């Protein structure tokens, strides 16, 4: 649990530093499955926690490095969402990695 908090804090700091983007309370999910041929990433959270159609989600490695970002293309009420990412980058995504919802507010 301590590692998750450290990785989440690091990822949040990187997002703020890189884009001039204000990021509010993050929703975090875990990768359940990856279809590498189509670039689909399935996560364990759904609409009820904020993973709605069109929302931007970034996938982070176990060390906290951003691998890919994509938009939610399919979502269910409570149990999963599907994110479309770059097919080449999807080959680096593994089950159990962190998927973080990005909430952007332009300054």
57 has a pLDDT exceeding 60: yes
The predicted pLDDT at position 80 comes to 87
Mean pLDDT of all residues in 76-92: 87
Q: What distance lies between CA 46 and its chain's CA centroid?
A: 12
Q: Indicate the pTM of the whole model.
A: 0.70
DSSP character for 56? Answer: E
> Distance between CA 81 and CA 76 in Å, rounded?
6
Query: Which 3 state secondary structure label does DSSP give 7?
Result: helix
Mean pLDDT of all residues in 42-49: 89
Q: Which domains does the chain have, with CATH numbers?
A: 2-105 (2.40.10.340)
The predicted pLDDT at position 19 comes to 52
21 has a pLDDT exceeding 90: no
5 has a pLDDT exceeding 60: no
> Distance between CA 58 and CA 99 in Å, rounded?
6
């Amino acid at each position: 649990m301590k590692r998750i908090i450290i990785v989440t804090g690091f990822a949040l700091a990187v997002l703020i530093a890189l884009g001039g983007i204000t990021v509010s309370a993050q929703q975090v999910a875990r990768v359940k499955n990856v279809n590498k041929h189509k670039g689909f990433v399935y996560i364990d959270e759904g609409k009820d926690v904020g993973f709605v159609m069109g929302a931007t989600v970034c996938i982070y490695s176990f060390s906290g490095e951003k691998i890919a970002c994509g938009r939610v293309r399919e979502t269910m009420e409570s149990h999963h969402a599907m994110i479309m990412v770059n097919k080449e980058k999807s080959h680096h995504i593994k089950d159990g990695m962190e998927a973080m919802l990005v909430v952007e507010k332009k300054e």
